[in-house]
Structure 1
Amino acid sequence: MAFPTILTQGLCMALLVLTLRASSFASASRELGEMSMIERHERWMAQHGKAYEDAAEKERRFEIFKSNFELIQTFNNGNHKFRLGLNRFADLTNDEFRATHNGFRPKSGAAASTAKRFRYENVTAVPASMDWRAEGAVTPVKDQGQCGCCWAFSAVAATEGITKLATGKLVSLSEQELVDCDVHGQDEGCDGGLMDSAFDFIVKNRGLTTEANYPYKAADGKCNARKAAAAAASISGYEDVPKNHESALLKAVAHQPVSVAIDAGGFAFQMYEGGVFTGDCGTDLDHGVTAVGYGVASDGTKYWLIKNSWGSSWGENGYIRMERDVNSKEGLCGIAMEASYPTA
């Protein structure tokens, strides 16, 4: 009767060996996965020129990076019209991101209730699609860096557009002039502002100088009056698009690039990589951008074409397509709430 005992002992030993091997394989897989994440972070750092002050900061940023990566993977495994990716904001928490890369301040008081003429009110027909880049009315994507002056980039992009349409010349204008010199009203440089106030400044200052003459520094500075006096483009005024009407916004964008304010503080906006953005977002307006067109995606989704100021590595080469004609009167992310454009 010794044979069954020997057989049982042999089977137990085989199972033990298999269990140990499986445990060892699982441990190795976890280590490999962790190493892959570390290597992924190192490649991402090299791609975006990231460097940290010490090992502790690098470890903290790695943990944020890893968490964001997992959130991105989970999102992209779902059924969405857009996708997220490991862009240069991947080592920032969402709170950090919102604190350093937005900066729009909604209108308040009398400014919020002032009604102005809307020159496109009686427009009855617009093109099925529009892309002001194709018309030569949009300069290359710029980068505001860690300065909350999105309002300046939005106003400048709209001014560059109307200048091209009025004169036939596309000139890159100075955001830094607005950051340094437009400080006596509601605009406060890197601490935030709004596009209408920027348009007011451009009118009163009789124009803006070029980017080349007054280059961007991504920081508040002292106004250089000599440089600011060398205006390269001017506007006669500005008009607000009727609030909460995407149809009115469509009429305006069909005729020129338009400054718009949006709620861009969410994780999905931070990590947007491509596709037609459909949310989630609210109407807590915190970011100024520029609507430079509109169209219809291959799946039939209508969209706004938006020029951002977070560099060309973000989104679709610095742009985002945002869903158009949504059920909410404010538009997706509040895009129809505070739109305006300069006049030649």
Structure 2
Amino acid sequence: MTVRLPGREQIEETYARLRPMVRRTPVVEIAGGDLGVAGRVLLKLELLQHTGSFKARGALNAVLAMPDGTAGAVAASGGNHGAAVAWACGIAGIEADVFVPSTSPMEKVRRIEEYGATAHIVDGYYATAYEASRAWAEGRPVLPVHAYDADAIIAGAAGVGIEIGDQAPYARRVLVPCGGGGLYSGTALALRDVMPVVPVEPERCPSLVSALAAGERVDVDVSGVAADSLGAARIGERAFAVARELAAEPLLVSDDQILAARRLLWDECRVLAEPGGVTALAALVAGKVDVRDGETVVVVISGANHPTIPADVVAPVSG
């Protein structure tokens, strides 16, 4: 089966349509030495996007593309996509129902509800929430908004790549967190003729690494500190196709490396991201990426939907 991928024209048209409604997130330089690398490091702060993650781009694109008269949307999400769908449905004036796994932080559930959606909590991880959303939607006049494996989602996420191309055309490569692969595939397609994009996965959610090793998409067990945002049990069909076409070499990082990167980002920049949001940074800090003197690497910080300033990041201040 041939997978249809958004082309350059579709990506550019999508970005132009969404540009007035989404934020052009900043790129901030941090001294490479502060992260233990020789070159220049730029952080693409997608955690400053509407709803606190890059997901707002694809969700809005998908909702705006729905036929006139659509009464509502349904989605499954670890939290970030659900909040983005709820926000987008609010703009479009339609209802949203979001199925969230019980393993997601309750703060993410509350954010979904604050944006006006109905949250349905399902035992398990993303895959079980997705199946529950499909069963619930049968016979109802609603349209599904997939979290990562849809043209509209990928074309929306490609806006991250378009902005990086404008903001840092001299960069050597881009590192992005990868769960189901919507952010990776969109960014990679937008930058395919400019610079390589490296997907980074948690060791405990290795859907892309496992698929590439097997030569086909396979189910994997998911767990760990980033499972609520990167816990896709199977890589998206489109992301898998992009990774094979562009000969991607994904990297894996441990939970300890993710938490260390999260702490470092707070200590050095006073930027507080969620664990999944710093997965790409974790690869850099852990020495898995060779950044030489004179080179520039862009690291996407993809989300910041966390309950509070957690004790594992910020130690209590006395006195």
| TM-score bin, normalised by smaller chain | under 0.3
- Normalising by structure 1, what TM-score? 0.24
- Normalising by structure 2, what TM-score? 0.25
Q: Which has the larger radius of gyration?
A: 1
